[in-house]
Each structure stands twice: as C-alpha cells, then as structure tokens.
Amino acid sequence: MKGWHKLKKYVMADLSQDSSSYASFSLGHWEAEATAEDSESTLEQAPAKMPRVDPLWGEEGPLLIEISLNDNLDWLKRRFSYPLNSGLVIRPLVIGGGSLEGAVIYLESQVDWQYLSRTVVQPLIAANLPGDPPLDVQMLTLRILTNSHATTTTYLGDIEQNVLNGSAVVIVDRLKEAVIVNVEDEEKRALESPKTENVVRGPQVGFTENLQTNLSLIRRRLNTPDLIVESGVVGKISRTRIAIVYLKTIANVELVNEVRTRIAAIQIDYVGDSGMVEQMIEDSPNSIYPGMLNTERPDRTAGQIADGYVGILVDNSPFALIVPANFPLFLQTSEDAYLRWQYSSFIRIIRTIGFFMSLYLPALYVAIANYHHEMIPTTLILAIAGTRESVPLPVAAEAFLLESMFELIREAGVRIPSVIGPTIGIVGALILGQAAVQANIVSPIVVIVTSATALASYTIPNYNMQFTTRILRFVYLGCASFLGLVGVVLLSMMLWANWAASNRFGVPNLAPIAPYRPSEDTLLRAPMKLQSSRPLSVRPRKTRKLPDVQGDAPSLPPEQGETRP
Amino acid sequence: MRKHQIGVREVTSIGIIFVITKIFLPFQRSLSEAGGTAAWMIALIAAVLSPLTWWAIRGILRNATQGSTLIDATEEIWGPFLGTLLNLAYFCFFFTISFLVLREFAELLCSDILPRTPINVMLISLLLPISVVAHRGIETLGRLCWVAVGLIVGSVIIVLIGGLLTHAEPKALSPFWGTGMSNVLKTGIVKSSLFSEMLVFGFLLPRMRKSQQWGRSAWWCMAISAFTIFSTTIVYLFVFPYPTAIRLNVPMFEMSRLIIFGRWIQRLESVFLITWLISAVLKLAIGLYCSAASMSQILRLPKFQPLVFPLAILAYGFALLPGSEMTAVAWDGDLLRTYGSIFSIALPMMTWLAFIVRRGKKKQS
C-alpha cells in the first residue's frame, strides 16, 4: 500500500485543479502570436530574495557582540569547538602598544598569512592611538586598517560566517562592533581551456572552480552597469555561494524572479557542484531530457545572458547553468556565432542529423532487418544475409550486445587512469571490431551501425543530451525488435508528446519550433546582420537586438576636426 | 497560471490532420466505387460544401457566451435536456471516428506491415501513444500537429508525384460522369461528410486569442484538406484504372509500393508508413481528446484528463465490434461518411438558426 498514492491517479479520477508550482509557471500564452505587450513583463507579486545564511538567534533576537572581549572569544571557541578543532586561530594583540586588548580571529589555511600580517596585524600593533576620542570602529577602518577591504558588523553570526569564508575578524575589548577584513587566500586553478566544449574558432578559456573568477570572466564580456549579479548561499552545511547573473534591461522579470524563488526553495545540506543545484530547481526531475543548459564557457554564458537568458553560477563548480533551455540550444555551440552563417548552419545540420542518428539508427537497422526487408535493395540484402549466415544471434541481440559493449568501453574510457588510457582504445577496437566479427558473434554491418551511432552521438555538443540519446537508444531498440518501425514511431510519439508538452522555466521545450516563434537562430543561423531580434521564446524585455538609430549604442570617437554634437 | 491559447498554425494543423488522415485508409476506393471514374467530382463537391460546417460553427460561437465551446453553446441555446442530447450526439460522432479509424489502421498494419502480429496487440500498441498524446491536451496536440503537418502533406505529394511518374493512365477519367451525373452529384452531397471532422473547430476556435484569426485557420484548413483529398483521389484514378481502383485495399499504400526512383529508391512504403502512422496517431488522439473534452463538458467536469484512459479502454472494446476489416470499412463508409453531415452540418446549422430566432425574439420583446 506504500505506493498507493502514486497509483491512485491512474485508478481514481483526480478532479482537483491544482498543479505543481513549477509546472504551472509559464512565461506567456504560448500558442498565440507574440505581441509587443507580452514582452513587457511585470511582476505582480513581491520579488523573491536570494537565500542567505540564517542569522544566529538568541533569546532576545539576533546574537550581538558582547562588550567584553573574553566573552566574545569564549563564544567563538565554543562555536568552533576550540581547541579540538585545530583550524581556528585566535591571535591576541595589544593595539597601539597601549593597554587596549584585541584579537584577530581567522581560520588557518583559509587566509593569506603574509597579507594578513601586513594589512591587519602590523597596523594594529603599530597604531598611534589618540587618547581622546576613544578608539571606535570608524577609526579602525578609516585610520588603521587602511590597506585592506574592511567592513563592520555587530552580529556574532556574521563573524562566524566571515571567518568561515576566509576573512579575518578584529574584535577589540570594550567595542560592540567588529571589523571584518577580507584576507582570503584564493588558491585557485589557472584559467584553462574547457574540458568538454572545445572549439576551433573562438576564446579558449573556460570557467574555473572559483566563483569570483567566473563572475569576472562574464563581467569582462558584458561591460555594462545593467549586468546584475545577485548572490546567495545554498546548502545548510556547505553554505555554498551561488549567484544569478542577468541583464536587468533585457531579462524577463518573471523569469528572474522564478529563478530566485526556486533557488530560495532549495533544501539541501551539501552542494558540491552546479549539477546538484540543477537537479534541485529543474521543472521535471523525472524527465529523461535535460532541464537546463550547462556550459563551462564564459563566452557562451555571456552570449546567452545578452539574449535575455539567466545564468546561474555556483562556487566550486566550473559549470554555469543557463535557463530557460529549449531544445535548439542543446544542439548549438558558442562557435556557431563566430563562424560565417553558411558554415555554422552547415555544422548545425550535421549535429541535428547526428542527434537523430544517435537516437534512431540502431533501432532503424533492427526494424528494417527484422520486419521491413523490402526496403533494402536486393544486392544489399543479399550481402547482409551472407554476412549474417554464420552469426547465431538474432539481429536485435547483436545490436544490444554491441551497443552495451560500446557503453562499457565509453564508461571505462572516462574512469580509466590516463596512464593506461590508450589501452582502452586498443581493447575496444578488438572487442567491437575484428575479434567479434571473426568469432561470428556479430555481423560486420552491426559493427558499422554501432560505430556510426557512436560518432553521431559525439556530435551532440551537450553532455547531458548525449546521455538522453544513449539511454533512449536502448529503449528504441527494444521497441524496434518488438514492433519494427511501428514500435519506433509509436514510442517516439509518446516521448515527443511528453517533451513538447512540458515547459522549462516557463518556456516550452520545443520552442521556437513548436510553438512557433520567428527566430533567426534555431536549427539554422541567419547572417549576423539579419539577426536583429532576441529569441522571443524567453520573452526578453527588449526584443530588438540591434540598437535603434538614436539608441544607446556606443558612439564612435569624433574624427579629427569634427566636433561632437 | 495563464490560460494558454492556440495559434493559427496549430489550429490549422490540427484541422488538416484530423480531416485528411482518412486518405491513408480505403477512402479513395470507396469514392471510386460510388462515382467510378468521376470519383474526383465527389471529392470536389464535398470540398465545395465544406464551408457550411465552418459557417455554422462560426455562427454558433459568435452568438454564444464568449469563450464557450460548441458543447457549451449548444447547451446554452437548447437548454440542459435537449442540449445534452445533442452534445451526446457530438460525443458519439467523435468517439465513433476514434474507434473505427483505430480498427481500420490496426487492420492495415496487421495485414500489410506486421502480418504476424495479433490485432489485439496492435490495438493496444496504438492506444497507448494515442492516450498519452490526448492526455497531454490540445496545446501538445497543436504543437505536434504543427511539426508533423509538413511531413505528412509532403509525403503525400511525393507519393502522388512518384505514382504518376511510375504509371499514369491517359484516359483514366473517362467516362466523364462515371456512374452517372445524378448519382455523382447526389453522392457528392452525401459525401460532404468527408469534411465532418471540421467539427473539431468547435473546440479549437474558443481557445484562440482573437476571433479575427478564426477565418484564417478555417480557410487554410479547408484549402489544404480539399487539395489533398481531391488530388489523392484524382491521382489514384490516373495510376490505377477503374477496374483495379475498386479492388485495392489501401490505395495510398499501394501507390507508394509502385514508386521507383531508380534502382536504390524503390519499395519505400515503410518510409511513408512512418509519416502515415504519425498522422494516424495524431488523428486518433484528436478524436479521443474531443470525445473526452465533450463528455467532460457534458458532465461539467473541470478536467477532461480523467476521462481519457477510460475512453481509450472503451475505444478498444468498440474497435473489436466489427467482425472484420471489411465490416469496419463498411461502417465507416455507410455510417460515418453517409450520415456524418448530420452531425457536422445539420446539427450546428439548427443550433445557429435557433440562436438567430432567439435573438430575433429578444429584440422584439
């Protein structure tokens, strides 16, 4: 009876009108023509807020800093399990060589020690304090700690969070405020080429695990004050920093608010990568199709943001998430925009063919070889029959076997240590190729079909979409062996219907193909000069991509002898 | 949540697919039996009469409360008792289309494509995707129809061209009046039910944003459907002379078998089968959706979805009622394509007239 509530909907009519909040979110009246007023989205309810770390509460409200230095230090020691927890460092000092006691608190290995010493410890010790007026935080930040970025707080919760984030906190006896100095030791990987999205033409830099670096990579590409970065924290234990990035004059207000709302609703203790955030905020967790686009390319992210999409960046993750992601996006790369339209349209056609081959080719072969022989020309069918004469397995079993072997090799290729990496190629070629054919386990035509399918699947630029085709390929194979082409078509209808029916962040999956929206950048790409409007599917606030004649485009510097109007 | 609306493209595509899918069934043969070499004239007369359904539906929807479907409007004018009876007639019409076409397509697949598959397995295999697609609602149907309509009409055109290139009888259309002028004209009027499926506009038009768009979608639907039905009939007569034309089980399928574009491109019926199967699934899903939607409106249910799967099971049961494929085809020709106009033209016309009379009375009072 445990699963009764799941089965109930199939047995008893559910006439309630309610539906899940994610499924009901929509950016527009999809099947109707787009009108100008649709683009002017407004937010009817109060905007959501990005999640923050919950403040620490005492009996009488938020915990405030005590007047006594020792009381504050005791609280911090208890909080960080000091001295059991070896990470916390409490550096007591006497400020200005007088009688005023203070302490610098930080986490070992989280701070740049030399920078801390130079900008915080030495200035505090060497400070020349006037007797009157007495020392306060204003004096500390404006006169003593002048070589670093310093802020103040009165809450113990803030102190805790900033110490964890790699800042140093200065607490002074008889002061009810503390100074937070950013001395974070940012050990980070150097900028490298993206691992999964290589291009021939275009920037060769990818995101890193550092959120600030990633944000700067985007900021460098979108030099406008309209670029908004909203920060928050997710994960009860990990307290991972997260940021949503969008252009306030272009991105749809409702879309941005929906992103905020979903991030704020995340209930999880640990966030290790943007992939976990993706799973927490996507519309249909049970769907086999990816819910949002992930990319490790800053140029791709910036390009999509400029089109009205919203980027989500998570600390410690080199993958940005882009929402909403409709089907054509998964077959596009950033390189498409850098190549001339003829070339990029051509490779997009290749990718589209690759996508469908990757899904259907083995199933089509099995269906035709099993049920629809008449489709194969006589000479070819005789050749196939000749090669299959000595193979004991049915066609479907052959295809299953070889596809499974290929999946094994692919997974092994990812996990195998790089030192013995080349071995996998040799072993794979032996298993999949000559040995299997010579042992009469499979026929050569199946080897060709499997190889072509594997090549086709690698043309899909998105890693998640590759998974979709890999899994569905087996399902289609099953249907093809059961009902031939009829089975393949019937299953396709079900899957495509489900895909076409659902939305991703308020935008139908198959937009702008169905529902149709005029677009110069879908499966084919128009010349750059003709790409005058942003994708209407994401309902940007400004649909015109190119600035008007009197618009706010950067103007050219005046020629010599010419004066500005 | 926003109420989603349907665009011109989606409405037109749904209409076209719902009307023309019958060309993949023994429809051309039935017309040839009725009109002989003048079968094309029957298709032409039916096409000329097709706007009657459109005008009647438009008249009803314009006079009814804004946003009402054909079912709501019928009940609004005829009252709960008579209105429900008429609405049940509409429901029966859509449901009959669903189960008869389901049986015919299942038989077609069993006899020509998968001869060793039992009819039960084929019926269930077809009903599964049909129910899923219908359950997703009219927006999904519209999106799928819009993607598929080009493929379907394109495949029909290729088959027609291929058929004509392979074989064309120069004197196929003589004698000009076929089975006789009066018979052809009479049959043409009766067979106006070839466009009975346009009744689906009674569900689609209220979902459109602007009533000015109604006409665009309806006329496009009628034009493309009429062209497809007419061209398949006339080309069929050219490719298969009359004596053969009245004997073939599935004319379009046989025509696709004839196609030879060189040594490598021939016997492509299975390729065309893909598009025809898509068309059949979509038509049946539209039929099932309309059945469920009309019944849910009769019963005043807020959702139609709970009725989809029960109706699918009912359709399975009803599809097994005809004893053989020939009986199913006969039911289609003798019932649906003979009395279909009563549902698609007569009943809506009556309702429209009733609206006009009531409006006149209101003005007088």
User: Which of residues 473 through 492 in chain A touch B, CB cutoff 8 A?
Assistant: 483-487, 489-491
Residue pair B244/B172 in contact (Cβ under 8 Å)? The answer is no
DSSP state at residue B329: H
The complex scores an ipTM of 0.92
Residue pair A484/B116 in contact (Cβ under 8 Å)? The answer is no
Residue pair B168/B298 in contact (Cβ under 8 Å)? The answer is no
Which residues on B lie below 8 Å from A14 (Cβ)?
Answer: 303, 306
Which residues on B lie below 8 Å from A368 (Cβ)?
Answer: 270
Nearest to B301 by CA among A328, A205, A14, A2: A14
Per the CB < 8 Å rule, is B5 touching A31?
yes
What is the Cβ-side half-sphere exposure of residue A312, based on CA atoms within 13 angstroms? 33
**Residue A11 in contact with partner chain B when CB distance is under 8 A:** no
What is the spatial distance between Cα A202 and Cα A337, in angstroms, rounded to a whole number? Answer: 9
**Residue A495 in contact with partner chain B when CB distance is under 8 A:** no
Best probe of the B interface among A486, A491, A502, by most B CBs < 10 A, is: A486
Least confident span in A368-382, A479-493, A542-556: A542-556
Run of H or E including A103: strand A100-107
Best probe of the A interface among B119, B120, B140, by most A CBs < 10 A, is: B140
Least confident span in A12-16, A78-82, A457-461, B57-61: A12-16
- Three-state secondary structure call for residue A58: strand
User: For residues B156 and A58, which has the higher predicted lDDT (pLDDT)?
Assistant: B156
Residue pair A95/A135 in contact (Cβ under 8 Å)? The answer is yes
Joined together, the tokens standing for residue B356 give: 């006009």
Which residues on B lie below 8 Å from A514 (Cβ)?
Answer: 142-144, 146-147
Nearest CA in chain B to A379: B264
What is the spatial distance between Cα B125 and Cα B106, in angstroms, rounded to a whole number? Answer: 9
pTM reported for the whole predicted model: 0.88
Per the CB < 8 Å rule, is B9 touching A377?
no
**Residue A374 in contact with partner chain B when CB distance is under 8 A:** yes
Confidence tier at A12 by pLDDT (50, 70, 90): low
**pLDDT, tens digit, 9 for 90 and up, residues A463-513:** 999 999 999 999 999 999 999 999 999 999 999 999 999 889 989 999 888
Average pLDDT for residues B305-322, to the nearest whole number?
A: 95
> What is the structure's pLDDT at A320?
96
What is the distance in angstroms between the Cα of B132 and the nearest Cα belonging to chain A? 6
> What is the structure's pLDDT at A41?
58
Per the CB < 8 Å rule, is A486 touching B281?
no
Q: Report CA Rg, chain B.
A: 20
Nearest CA in chain B to A372: B270
Joined together, the tokens standing for residue A319 give: 């993958």
Residue pair A103/A97 in contact (Cβ under 8 Å)? The answer is no
Which residues on B lie below 8 Å from A493 (Cβ)?
Answer: 129, 132-133, 144, 278, 281-282
Confidence tier at A205 by pLDDT (50, 70, 90): very high
**Residue A291 in contact with partner chain B when CB distance is under 8 A:** no
What is the spatial distance between Cα A175 and Cα A67, in angstroms, rounded to a whole number? Answer: 6
Q: What is the CA B326 to chain-centroid distance, rounded?
A: 19
What mean pLDDT value characterizes chain A? 85
> What is the structure's pLDDT at A556?
52
What crossing angle do the helices spanning A421-430 and A395-415 adopt, rounded to 10°? 170
Which residues on B lie below 8 Å from A375 (Cβ)?
Answer: 267-268, 270-271
**pLDDT, tens digit, 9 for 90 and up, residues A241-270:** 999 999 999 999 999 999 999 999 999 999
> What is the structure's pLDDT at B191?
87
Does residue A562 register a pLDDT over 60? no
Nearest CA in chain B to A380: B264
Does residue A15 register a pLDDT over 90? no
Residue pair B63/B55 in contact (Cβ under 8 Å)? The answer is no
Average pLDDT for residues A292-314, to the nearest whole number?
A: 95
Confidence tier at A537 by pLDDT (50, 70, 90): confident
Q: What backbone phi and psi angles, to 5 degrees, belong to A322?
A: -125, 130
Does residue A321 register a pLDDT over 50? yes
What mean pLDDT value characterizes chain B? 90
Residue pair A317/A234 in contact (Cβ under 8 Å)? The answer is no
- Three-state secondary structure call for residue A427: helix
Q: What backbone phi and psi angles, to 5 degrees, belong to B224?
A: -70, -40
DSSP state at residue A34: P
Per the CB < 8 Å rule, is A374 touching B267?
yes
Does residue A20 register a pLDDT over 80? no
Per the CB < 8 Å rule, is A372 touching B136?
no
> What is the structure's pLDDT at A37?
47
The amino acid present at B19, given as its one-letter code, is V
Nearest CA in chain B to A377: B264
Does residue A436 register a pLDDT over 70? yes
What is the distance in angstroms between the Cα of A402 and the nearest Cα belonging to chain B? 26
Average pLDDT for residues A166-174, to the nearest whole number?
A: 89
What crossing angle do the helices spanning B269-298 and B8-20 adopt, rounded to 10°? 110
Three-state SS across A373-397? HHHCCHHHHHHHHHHHCCCCCCHHH
What is the spatial distance between Cα B227 and Cα A204, in angstroms, rounded to a whole number? Answer: 54
Nearest CA in chain B to A484: B114
Average pLDDT for residues A414-418, to the nearest whole number?
A: 81
User: For residues B6 and A483, which has the higher predicted lDDT (pLDDT)?
Assistant: A483
The amino acid present at B115, given as its one-letter code, is P
What is the spatial distance between Cα A495 and Cα A501, in angstroms, rounded to a whole number? Answer: 10
User: For residues B45 and A409, which has the higher predicted lDDT (pLDDT)?
Assistant: B45
> What is the structure's pLDDT at B334?
87
Cis check for the bond before A83: say yes or no (omega within 30 of 0). yes
Does residue A391 register a pLDDT over 60? yes
Q: What are the structural domains of chain B?
A: 20-354 (1.20.1740.10)
The amino acid present at B29, given as its one-letter code, is R
Average pLDDT for residues B331-358, to the nearest whole number?
A: 90
Of A496, A498, A516, the CB nearest to B146: A516
Average pLDDT for residues A408-417, to the nearest whole number?
A: 84
Best probe of the A interface among B133, B141, B143, B259, by most A CBs < 10 A, is: B143
Residue pair B57/B201 in contact (Cβ under 8 Å)? The answer is yes
Does residue A385 register a pLDDT over 70? yes
> What is the structure's pLDDT at B104?
93
> What is the structure's pLDDT at A548?
55
Give the whole-number percent of chain B exceeding pLDDT 70: 99
**pLDDT, tens digit, 9 for 90 and up, residues A112-150:** 888 888 888 888 888 877 766 777 778 888 888 888 888
Of B114, B277, B303, the CB nearest to A371: B114
